[in-house]
Amino acid sequence: LQNSEEFTIAIRIPGWTQNRPVPSDLYSYLNEINTSINLEVNGEPVNITQKKGFVHIYRKWGDGDTIEFEMTMPIRRVVAHEKVKNNNGRIALERGPIVYCVEWPDNNVENIFNLFLDDNAELSSTFRENLLNGIVTITGSINFLQKSKNDNQIQKDETEFLAIPYYAWANRGKGDMTIWMLRDLKAFGK
């Protein structure tokens, strides 16, 4: 700006920071997680008051003014509406606005579609500089399910899993990938 001017800047507050993955009931989070949001203008904190999904900052703006906007990005478990039959008993992972998937080269299991993620399994995120040109991954313990040959009982074998951002899949050859992992044994084999 050549001269200082008074005007409003509106900054969108994403729905995922408010425990809403989409503006409908198609998807929801399994658990609500409070997300911290920090907003600063020229290094000074700004009170955040939302109006229709935006924070409005009205002030006299000048050359060199800066806005810093920071949001925590916790890992969230996403469930689909019950009418989405193919996703009943399944769960997806999201970190901030990014949906994650589980892909074959990162997980040493016979069938990627037989992974069962317990609702209480601890998950963590890590930046991996040398994977797919640098991405944040999600890791944790998961169960690999299979039916025993003798009595058709479900066997669970605990293993570690790694999930990558959905946008990064299919870059390492042909193989299986899933977004929706099992969370209910009734969905196994369906």
- How do residues 79-125 score in pLDDT, each as one tens digit? 999 999 999 999 999 999 999 999 999 999 999 999 999 999 999 99
- For the entire predicted model, the pTM comes to 0.90
- Pairing mode, if any, of strands 37-41 and 67-71? antiparallel
DSSP code at position 87: G
DSSP 100-141: EEEEGGG---S-GGGEE--TT--EEEEEETTSTTSEEEEEEE
Task: Name the pLDDT band for 157 (thresholds 50, 70, 90).
Answer: very high
**Domain residues of the chain, as ranges?**
5-71, 75-187
Q: Give phi and psi for 90, each to the nearest 5.
A: -125, 165
| Cβ atoms of 136 and 121 closer than 8 Å | no
